Amino acid sequence: MLALHELQQRFATAVLGEDDSGFERAIHAAGLTGAQRLQVYRNNTRLGLTGALAAVYPVVQQLVGEGFFHYAAAQYITRYPSRSGNLHEFGGPFATFLETFEPAAGLSYLPDVARLEWAYHEVFHAAHHAPLDLSALAAVPAERQGELRFQLHPAARLLESSFPILCIWQAHQNVDHDHPPVRLDDGGIKLMVFRHENLDIEFQSLPDGEFHLLYALVTGCNFATACEQAISAQPGFDLPASFRRHVLQGALTAFYLPDTSSSIHDHP
Amino acid sequence: MSAKLATSRLGPGPIPVRAGIGLRAEHYDVLLETRPPVGWLEIHSENYFGAGGKPLDYLERIRAHYPLSLHGVGLSIGSTDPLNHWHLTQLKRLIQRFEPALVSEHLSWGSAGGRYLNDLLPLPCTEEALYHLIARVAQVQDILGRQILIENISSYLQYTHSTIPEWEFLAELAERAGCGVLLDVNNIYVSARNHGFDPDTYLRAIPQRAVQEIHLAGFTVNRFEGGEILIDTHNQPVCPAVWALYRQAVQRFGPRPTLIEWDTGLPELAVLVNEAQQADAILEERHARAA
């Protein structure tokens, strides 16, 4: 008799892979064979997981077409099986998969478009966070401001690509409207995917200095180092205005001064 | 219903003995604007496991007007993998925030060795599987601190080593784990057609007091060379044969909260509301006869 544990392992292998040698003998053949019945589950699993991927990556699907997308998804499902009972968590490494997916090698921008769509998906489901406490920030003594460290809003993601992925994304949002043609040699983009307090999600194209300021802050640099990196990336850019904008729109949500009694100024 | 329902800080509490509908994102706005007269709403729990954003925001606003039921599709309660505690933590958080009157899962498994198929897969009806399920349901009820309902699934295969009819398996599980039964009448019909049993045998085996909710949905017929198979697709209206089986179920179990499920090829909200009204009419007939 097939023990429950073994049955489930073999069932999963049969559904995810090609190897179902002998397993169909554990299935009643009545009208349909065991292999045909297993095929129903193989189809259901593939369609369910492909549907979940298509929901997160609609632009990738438009770029490659439905047939190609289904083919890619079938490969992805076996190489990066779902690890969660929550389908919204499925598909994170799709961009990484596409990088080495030979049939898509001609579409060098595809992985970055996938990264943009995953960032949007994460931001859509991310936690709420109250804006930064401006009066507490203003109370930090001037001589200590360089030591400040900041946190990015949970519903904000920074992305950098050497392709015009935002133009590509926009050109696939409303297919009934005419969009200017996307020119791949228009160059890359630095951007932030950001969810506003009203839950609308916006793609903000960032100048080099602004991107490096925020990038340095989210990777743990203090304010002084972040400012240096921003200025060296884009000499002469209006750093105070840029910083103010991100504080006011809520992209920077909390700050703290290390090595002092004052703990993090965080109002979740 | 003349009795006034208790209202929590969130909105109406208990699920009335009426028809409800599955809440789907496409209907959020029209539901809030029109507030159709359906008795209650059911969500797929996992759709609200995110930390924030629109799904939870809408649910908060909608919950203010309707009683709520949570229906899980991903816990994989029948798997021999260890219980997924992260999944349960998220479910518990959702229960604490939205205070649903009912919480349900499926008589199925969906993961093996940490790989999820994200599907509702059939269990063999053996004593080993039954004991496993009894222990798992008890464990989940302990962690959640409440009773859950277990729903019978549609199945497309039967294992040669099953020794217990599914209806006895489910009745025994409810009895020994102390869970309730969510009886999916469409799933009984689909499995009965697929495996050639009499749906009435299923209904007669389930203890009346265990049934706390009923599901109704539409299915698809797939034709194979040499046969056909019914697939539980939730993509069309409830068919006449399933309405007839529903009348039988209401006759046997008494009126129970009844849900219209529709997941793919979602129509306008009004179509679901109309289906719910048909179920309400059948519940009313039974109420009237009982009075």
Alpha-carbon distance B272 to B278, whole Å? 10
Q: pLDDT tens, A58-101?
A: 999 999 999 999 999 999 999 999 999 999 999 999 999 999 99
Whole-angstrom CA distances from B284 to A112, B87, B119, B209, B242 are: 56, 38, 35, 20, 18
Instruction: Please answer yes or no on whether B128 and A81 come within 8 Å at the CB atom.
Output: no
Chains A, B: CB contacts within 8 A come to 142
Grade residue B214 by pLDDT with cuts at 50, 70 and 90. very high
Same domain, A170 and A246: yes
The residue among B166, B150, B224 whose CA lies nearest residue B199 is: B166
Instruction: Please tell me which of the candidates A85, A124, A195 has its beta carbon nearest to residue B110.
Output: A85
Instruction: Please answer yes or no on whether A88 and B50 come within 8 Å at the CB atom.
Output: yes
Same domain, A63 and A140: no
Chain B residue with minimum CA distance to A7: B124
Output the pLDDT for position B7.
Answer: 62
Instruction: Please answer yes or no on whether B51 and A1 come within 8 Å at the CB atom.
Output: no
| Helices A223-233/A208-218 angle, 10° precision | 150
Phi-psi region of B281 (alpha: psi -120 to 50; beta: other; left: phi over 0): alpha
The residue among A140, A178, A182 whose CA lies nearest residue A161 is: A182
Chain B interface, mutation test: which of A53, A86, A153, A200, most B Cβ atoms within 10 Å?
A86
Same domain, A119 and A132: no
Whole-angstrom CA distances from A92 to A56, A99, A166 are: 10, 13, 19
Instruction: Please tell me which of the candidates B123, B196, B224 has its beta carbon nearest to residue A36.
Output: B224
Instruction: Please answer yes or no on whether B75 and A85 come within 8 Å at the CB atom.
Output: yes
Q: Tell me: pLDDT of B1 over 90.
A: no
Average confidence score pLDDT of chain A? 93
Interface check B119 vs A, CB under 8 A: yes
Interface check B75 vs A, CB under 8 A: yes
Output the pLDDT for position A268.
Answer: 47
Same domain, A170 and A91: no
Output the pLDDT for position B3.
Answer: 46
Name chain B contacts of A36, Cβ cutoff 8 Å. 224
A49 vs B2 pLDDT, higher one: A49
Q: Tell me: pLDDT of B67 over 50.
A: yes
Q: Tell me: pLDDT of A18 over 70.
A: no
CA atoms within 13 A on the CB side of A195: 22
Output the pLDDT for position A174.
Answer: 79
| Helices B127-144/B166-177 angle, 10° precision | 40
Instruction: Please answer yes or no on whether B54 and A28 come within 8 Å at the CB atom.
Output: no
Output the pLDDT for position A265.
Answer: 66
Q: Tell me: pLDDT of B232 over 80.
A: yes
Output the pLDDT for position B13.
Answer: 84
Domain boundary residue among A99, A125, A151? A125
Instruction: Please tell me which of the candidates B124, B128, B227 has its beta carbon nearest to residue A32.
Output: B227
Beta bridge partners of A205: A191
What percent of chain B shows pLDDT beyond 90?
91
Grade residue A17 by pLDDT with cuts at 50, 70 and 90. confident
Output the pLDDT for position B5.
Answer: 54
Average confidence score pLDDT of chain B? 95
Output the pLDDT for position B286.
Answer: 83
Output the pLDDT for position B10.
Answer: 81
Instruction: Please answer yes or no on whether B53 and A12 come within 8 Å at the CB atom.
Output: no
Q: pLDDT tens, A189-237?
A: 999 999 999 999 999 999 999 999 999 999 999 999 999 999 999 999 9
Domain boundary residue among A75, A107, A125? A125
Instruction: Please tell me which of the candidates A48, A88, A199 has its beta carbon nearest to residue B57.
Output: A199
Q: Tell me: pLDDT of A31 over 90.
A: no
Q: pLDDT tens, A125-134?
A: 999 999 999 9
Same domain, A26 and A149: no
Same domain, A233 and A138: yes
Output the pLDDT for position A89.
Answer: 98
Rg (C-alpha) for chain B, rounded Å, is 18
Same domain, A87 and A210: no
**What's the gap in Å between the CA of A203 and the closest CA on chain B?**
16
**What's the gap in Å between the CA of B9 and the closest CA on chain A?**
21
Same domain, A192 and A237: yes
Q: pLDDT tens, A114-127?
A: 999 999 999 999 99
For domain B19-290, the question of CATH label 3.40.50.2300 is answered with no
* CATH at residue A233: 3.30.390
Interface check B222 vs A, CB under 8 A: yes
Same domain, A67 and A140: no
Structural domain of A85: 1-125
Q: pLDDT tens, A154-179?
A: 999 999 999 999 999 999 997 777 77
Same domain, A238 and A134: yes
Output the pLDDT for position B115.
Answer: 96
Instruction: Please tell me which of the candidates A7, A15, A155 has its beta carbon nearest to residue B124.
Output: A7
Mean pLDDT of B121-129: 98
Grade residue A262 by pLDDT with cuts at 50, 70 and 90. low
Grade residue A181 by pLDDT with cuts at 50, 70 and 90. confident
**What's the gap in Å between the CA of B222 and the closest CA on chain A?**
10
DSSP B22-34: E--GGGHHHHHHH
Same domain, A72 and A40: yes
Chain A interface, mutation test: which of B44, B76, B118, B191, most A Cβ atoms within 10 Å?
B118
**What's the gap in Å between the CA of A145 and the closest CA on chain B?**
32
Alpha-carbon distance B265 to B270, whole Å? 14
Instruction: Please tell me which of the candidates B87, B114, B157 has its beta carbon nearest to residue A37.
Output: B157
Instruction: Please tell me which of the candidates A30, A82, A126 has its beta carbon nearest to residue B51.
Output: A126
List CB contacts of A10: < 8 A, sequence separation 6 or more: A2, A20, A23, A26
Domains in chain A, number: 2
Q: Tell me: pLDDT of B83 over 50.
A: yes
Output the pLDDT for position A260.
Answer: 57
- Torsion, Cα B214 B220 B224 B226, to 10 degrees, reads 60
Alpha-carbon distance B287 to B291, whole Å? 6
Same domain, A134 and A216: yes
